[in-house]
Amino acid sequence: MGTAFITGAGIRIGQAVARALAHAGYDVALHANRSLEALTSLADELRALGRRVTVHAADLSRPEAVDALGASVREAWPALDVVVHNAGLYERVPFEDISREQYRTMLGVNLDAPFFLTQALLPSLLAGKDPVVVHICDIAGERPESHFAHYSVSKAGLLMLTRALAVELAPRVRVNAVSPGVAAFPESFDAAAREQILRRIPMGREGSVEDVARAVVFLAKDAPYITGQVIAVDGGRSVKL
């Protein structure tokens, strides 16, 4: 079918995306930073399907690590059909307490890394059959919440990067985004916090990481005339005030 590279593939959405692409027939390059044990287990699982799999470790907050990761993936995969930028930081901090280091790290992982990894992997993408880049964004990039200013700014930047690269890299490379709402609650959210959020979702329930993964596979396989677009996988939350 093709080849795909997924960042942050060890857990949650990234793991589901990697698994869905492998089941759809893609060989995969998998990246993680702290979830290396889970990544190794996933790699073994996908190899059992007959897929070619490579594993790459990198701290995306470090520019030199991003550059090394790009070079490593490009060497292992001279042609790529799908690049999924999923790795990201998420933290709740009141605006007045956000340090410069926290701000720079947040933007480094959530925005700078996708920018420069796509730049590094462009030769491999141009060698792909119908190449597409997919950014995993967040509805917070358009509808911010209190205490997530630096996170919201990083995701808003990723939305604009989606549109900018869709223009810049056309017609050869498509660039789209998937914007989840609640795909899986963070463990830190208690029952009251979860219930408050669920009341704002028209469908009345949380989604799943598999919902997000299916949207990515759609963009990879079945959307040859879609670029520069954002698919909200959020149960309708983004359309409800």
For the annotated catalytic residues, the residue numbers are 151
Tokens 């919902």 appear where?
211
Q: Label the pairing between strands 2-6 and 26-32.
A: parallel
- How many Å apart are CA 230 and CA 176, to the nearest integer? 6
Helices 113-126 and 63-76, packing angle to 10 deg: 20
- How many Å apart are CA 82 and CA 222, to the nearest integer? 13
